[in-house]
Amino acid sequence: MKVLVVNSGSSSIKYQLFDMTDESVLAKGLVERIGISDSIINHYPSDREPVITHQDIPNHRVGIKLMMDALLHSEYGVIKYVSEISAVGHRVVHAGEKFSGSVLLTDEVMDALKECVELAPLHNPPNILGIEVCKELMPGVPQMGVFDTAFHQTIPECAYLYGIPYKFYKKYKVRRYGFHGTSHKFVAQRAAKILEKSLEELKIITCHLGNGSSITAVKNGVSVDTSLGFGTVAGIIMGTRCGDLDPAIIPFLMDKEKLTVEGINKIIYKESGFLGLSEGISSDKRDLRERANQGDERAIRTISAFTYGIKKYIGAYAAAMGGVDAIVFTAGIGENSKETRAEVCEGLEFLGVKIDPEKNKVRAKEAIISSNDSKVKAMVIPTNEELMIAKDTAEISANL
Ligand code: ADP
């Protein structure tokens, strides 16, 4: 069974074609700069050289058509007929409160996703567009939706409600949703496998640390709390997003700096985090580490605020779950930065976390990095959201 995974963003489309018999990737690619000048199609067949093509791509329809052309190409394609694709799995950022799992994208589901556009105005429209074009270009091939928010629908009311008038929850569905759900679910499942335990008996804290970051408490296999909330800006400090703020800061800054809604949004989503705290050094963690190693105070304070935030969430989630068996690090920073992992775990010995500096030298591969006598297992698990989407898609498809 072959499953195509599509992640349709505002100006790019990422794709991967899986052979689910052995979960291998037949080809993957990235269509970039859609609707902007100098569009590019990067196609990587697994058994051949990459093919990079420059071509005008005015819209997603053309982008997805070019993705199909690449997959079917006589020289560098990996399938002969569209009918070889058993199902398509789409990444969708926001599915609101209606879906706690992946589903077949029927007309009713599409309507529900459109209702969520106002909750994710930057992400859901290109996700929906990608699905509509795939439905059109691959008639008869089942299309599934895998939602970033779905895994977090198990979060209890006490953790998803904010302390504002309840009428705003009823009227506008203002609540914690959480994101990166596919990643948190994937690494939690892998952690259980590696530890040779059932996921249902474990308390795991998953730290997805990338450009966007979130931390999730996974108890008995389900998400019970997560650091991102209503939007994608709360929780720990991110590349350009601010993380948790005292709400009083928003009206204060709007008043002082005479900001519009758009202006304050630009600050909290695009100009804060690593970039803002470091006074413009970089939104990229590697640059900050390099500058911190040279003694740059701006980089040092930014990294300290970042790791302190993660540590605080780990403590909070251990309390929320009544303990913790494993802490998992994933995504760009979590998988690669031994310094971040060491700094986060430093001082958590009271909780039973003991990092082994030798084991912690690992990069981008699955490993237990805590010492043998550590009560809590610290782990590195590379995330693979595409494989998780493909697995969900194959499972739904098998039951159609
Ligand atoms: P996205 O959220 O865009 O998917 P990624 O998961 O790719 O982000 O993570 C990007 C972050 O990972 C950047 O801050 C980058 O600096 C960091 N990163 C990547 N490689 C390393 C590394 N070797 N050491 C430290 N940080 C790294």
Residue-wise pLDDT for 160-188, tens only, equals 999 999 999 999 999 999 999 999 999 99
Residue 321: predicted pLDDT: 98
Q: Is 9 in the pocket of ligand 1 (CB under 6 A)?
A: no
Name the average pLDDT for the chain.
97
- Please tell me which residue in 38, 107, 148, 373 is annotated as part of the active site: 148
Low-confidence ranges of the chain (pLDDT < 50): none
Amino acid identity, position 311: K
Residue identifier of the C-alpha nearest atom 12 of ligand 1: 332
- Is residue 332 within 6 Å of ligand 1 at its C-beta? yes
Number of helices (H) and strands (E) in the chain: give both, helices first.
Answer: 14, 14
Say how far apart CA 315 and CA 354 lie, in whole Å: 15
The question of whether 225 is a catalytic residue gets the answer: no
pLDDT score of 37: 85
209 CA → ligand 1 middle, Å: 8
Check residue 244 and give its pLDDT: 98
Q: What is the pTM of this model?
A: 0.95
Which ligand 1 atom is at minimum distance from the Cα of 213?
2
- Ligand 1 pocket, 286 CB below 6 A? yes
CA nearest 287: which of 276, 274, 277? Answer: 274
The rounded percent of the chain whose pLDDT value lies above 70 is 100
Q: What is the pLDDT of residue 246?
A: 98
Which pair of tokens denotes residue 310? 């993660």
Cα-to-centroid distance, 334 and ligand 1 (Å): 8
Element (H, E) at 174: none
In angstroms, what is the span from residue 237 Cα to ligand 1's centroid?
14
Q: Is 331 in the pocket of ligand 1 (CB under 6 A)?
A: yes
DSSP string of 43-54?
Answer: EEETTS--EEEE
Residue 371 pLDDT? 98
Cα angle value 188/182/57 (rounded, 5°)? 150
Check residue 169 and give its pLDDT: 98
pLDDT at 395: 97
| Closest alpha carbon to 90 in 2, 152, 32, 4 | 4
Q: Indicate whether residue 273 lines ligand 1 (CB < 6 A).
A: no
- Rg of the chain (C-alpha set): 21
The answer to whether the CB of 212 is under 6 A from ligand 1 is yes
- 343 Cα to the center of ligand 1, angstroms: 17
* Pair type for strands 143-147 and 85-92: parallel
Q: What is the pLDDT of residue 36?
A: 87
- Residue 191 neighbours by CB under 8 Å, 6+ apart: 202, 204, 206, 326, 328, 377, 379, 381
**Single-letter code of the amino acid located at 141:** V
Tally Cβ neighbours within 10 Å of residue 199.
18
Candidate of 182, 241, 285 to mutate for ligand 1, largest count of ligand atoms within 8 Å of Cβ: 285
> What pLDDT score does 48 carry?
95
Question: Is 333 close to ligand 1, i.e. is its CB under 6 Å away?
Answer: yes
**DSSP one-letter string for 87-102:** EEEEEES--TTT-SS-
